[in-house]
Amino acid sequence: MLPLLAAASFASVDVSFVPTKSAAARAALVWANVGPGDTLYELGCGDGRVAAEALELGASVVCVERDPELAAAAATHLLRAAGSRPERAKVITTDLFEVDLSEATAACAQYSGRHGEATG
């Protein structure tokens, strides 16, 4: 079981979506040895770019996104990335602090500055 390092919900915190570059996502996933047999939970997935890279590496993915528009974009992106195996991808529209991570073998979340502001 992966530890969740926060106990409170931050639903009122305004966090901006900043897309992750595909090359950076792939490099991190390769470094973490994510691949077949893994289930990656991407917390605050935005449009699902990191999860899509994990799918290409053979992992199953669960994207968690509280913004319904971004969750819909992630679902579209993952359906395309999953190809003939759509059962390997799932999107949950909820606060990331409400998610059970017991099925995760890997998890990722990005933070870009104070409350989502770019760090430069």
Domain presence at residue 6: no
Domain presence at residue 31: yes
pLDDT for the residue numbered 78: 92
pLDDT for the residue numbered 4: 30
As given in the structure block, the two tokens for residue 12 are 């009122």
**Helix and strand element counts for the chain (H, E):** 3, 4
Q: What is the C-alpha separation between 81 and 40, in angstroms, rounded?
A: 14
- At residue 3 the predicted structure's pLDDT band, cuts being 50, 70 and 90, is very low
Instruction: Please report, for the domain that includes residue 27, its CATH number.
Output: 3.40.50.150
Domain count, the chain: 1
As given in the structure block, the two tokens for residue 35 are 């691949």
The arrangement of strands across the sheet holding 39-43 comes to 89-92, 60-64, 39-43, 106-108
CB-based contacts of 103, cutoff 8 Å, min separation 6: 39, 41, 62
Domain presence at residue 33: yes
- At residue 54 the predicted structure's pLDDT band, cuts being 50, 70 and 90, is very high
pLDDT for the residue numbered 25: 87
Mean pLDDT (the chain, rounded): 81
pLDDT for the residue numbered 115: 47
